[in-house]
Structure 1
Amino acid sequence: MTDQEFDVLDELYFVIPFEELLEAVDMEEAELYSILKELLKKKWVKCYRDHSEELLPHEVEIDHQYKEYSYLATKIGLLAHNGR
């Protein structure tokens, strides 16, 4: 786990919209997008259309809609984060 992945997961104990996450981690948008994409591949985060509607993995269009999603760490992601 990279330091940047750790910092992002640190903010994802609760569902958070992309814009709020961007402010919280103090990164460039492109960097955060790249990290979220990698965390999705690892199944360490999941996406929400809003705070209550979880998207299934095949429904996520991270390349086009990442700004519209909210994010939450998965159980696997939290275990990886806490095990570091």
Structure 2
Amino acid sequence: MNEEEFDLLDELYFVQPYQYLKEELGWEDQKLLSTLQSLHQKAFIKCLTAPDEELFDQVDILNKGKELYYLASKKGLMEHNAI
């Protein structure tokens, strides 16, 4: 896990919308979306269409990520806390 992924997981102990993450981290869209995609590919985060509606299909984070909510998965939390 790189530093950006670690910092992003710090914000995902609770469900957060994309805009919150952008404001909190102050990252450009490309950096935030690519880091979200990397975490999702590792199964470290869950993607949601609403605070209580998880997506189980393939997620196109680079194109649709600004419309989603995010939450660290159990695997992601365990990895985050192991560092």
Q: TM-score range by the shorter chain?
A: over 0.9
Q: Secondary structure at the match of 1:13?
A: coil
Q: Which amino acid aligns with 1:83?
A: A
Q: Which residue of 1 aligns with 2:69?
A: 70
Moved over 3 A (4+): none
Contact conserved, 2:9 with 2:80, CA < 8 A, in 1?
yes
Report Cα offsets for 1:26-82 as digits up to 9, x if no partner: 2111101010000010000010101111110x2422232100000000000000100
Between the two proteins, the alignment pairs up a number of residues equal to 83
Q: Which residue of 1 aligns with 2:49?
A: 49
TM-score normalised by the chain length of structure 1: 0.93
1:11-30, aligned counterparts within 5 Å?
11-30=11-30
Structure with greater strand share of residues? 2
CA distance in 2, matches of 1:64, 1:24: 21
Q: Which amino acid aligns with 1:31?
A: K
